[in-house]
Structure 1
């Protein structure tokens, strides 16, 4: 479900326009749907965990390494809950990967929507993750994501997952996405 049109975006820091912040909040708060297999309301894995992510910053900043170019930056926080843990008692790698997938997509949208008025989320081509240390029950994690390069078709970003409670890096990742092409007339007729 999308946030109400009167959703307060003032708690989200950063210089991204309020309508862009509002769209990101809508991206995190996904509606339930009726499952085809069980014919009951079902939110799904991504919607369940995505709704726990708290957007704290959405910004467009000048890139220090490339004068004249900008980068999108998004910061999201979450507290580790029991259903996020693996059998060893730390955050499951798949759960971290899903959160990185969501969060590393957001700065790509922020940069496009804030600078050209057209933000895209794209589809994943690759997600390369390095795990550095565990996140434990009750730990507060901060996911800091920034764009690397945003072109007309290829999009890339990086994400670092920091354990705020224990002051250490949990995971780092590079996410490569693409804007899919529209199906050709002959292909869409077959569908």
Structure 2
């Protein structure tokens, strides 16, 4: 674990320091007020154990005129993440993929346009490949797929570093909410 959440020396990648600093403490994404107020909501304990190890903004290999955000997170499977069989719960994996795709989207928008864009989930598609047991070390790799207009999408792979195998993967599509307007009713 890192000594300080404001320390970015352990974070690899080419993203600007301000992007790494924002993502160094994953609980910053719990500021749902937008006013720097930490809300200890659902999954706070899990988020607080995530360690961001890489933040990058790269040219997309398939679309060289576009860029992609990439964030790598490490964490250990702990008691509050498992079901009765002592394997990571599918709901917990969905939560981790939801959060980590948001990290990649945030890295891209902060690194390119300088702001964190607020968005909400439209779809989250998951695939479960193999179990991860209590105590296993996980590496979560998230990369943006497309960003345009109001739509954002990213993919995440959850790897067991303990057994060198893919645990789960997912694709997350998010939208920027429309601004409230005058009702037409």
TM-score per shorter chain, which class?
Answer: 0.7 to 0.9
CA contact (8 A) 1:25 1:55 kept: yes
Which string of whole-angstrom CA distances, capped at 9 and with x for unpartnered residues, describes residues 68-118 of structure 1?
Answer: 221100000110111211011100011111111000111111111111112
After superposition, residues 127-142 of structure 1 pair within 5 angstroms as 127-142=124-139
Q: Verify the 8 A CA contact 1:59 1:74 in the aligned structure 2.
A: yes
Which of 144, 149, 152 pairs up with 1:152? 149
Match of 1:92 among 76, 89, 92: 89
What is the TM-score of this pair, normalised by structure 2? 0.87
Which SS does the other structure have where 1:60 is aligned? Answer: strand
1:105: which partner in 2?
Answer: 102
TM-score, L = length of structure 1? 0.84
Q: Is the 8 A contact 1:154 1:176 kept in 2?
A: yes
Give 1:64's match in structure 2, choosing from 61, 64, 68. 61
* Cα 1:24/1:91, change in 2 over 3 Å: same
The number of residue pairs the alignment matches comes to 174
Q: Secondary structure at the match of 2:106?
A: helix
SS state of the match for residue 19, structure 2? helix
Shift of 1:131: 0.2
Unpaired runs of 5+ residues, structure 1, are 33-41
RMSD: 2.1
| CA-CA distance at 1:121 after TM superposition | 4.2
* Superposition map of 1:73-92 within 5 A: 73-92=70-89
Output the CA distance in 2 between the equivalents of 1:77 and 1:159. 13
3-state DSSP of counterpart to 1:141: strand
Q: Which runs of 5+ in 2 are unaligned?
A: 32-38
**Range with bigger deviation, 157-166 or 7-16:** 7-16
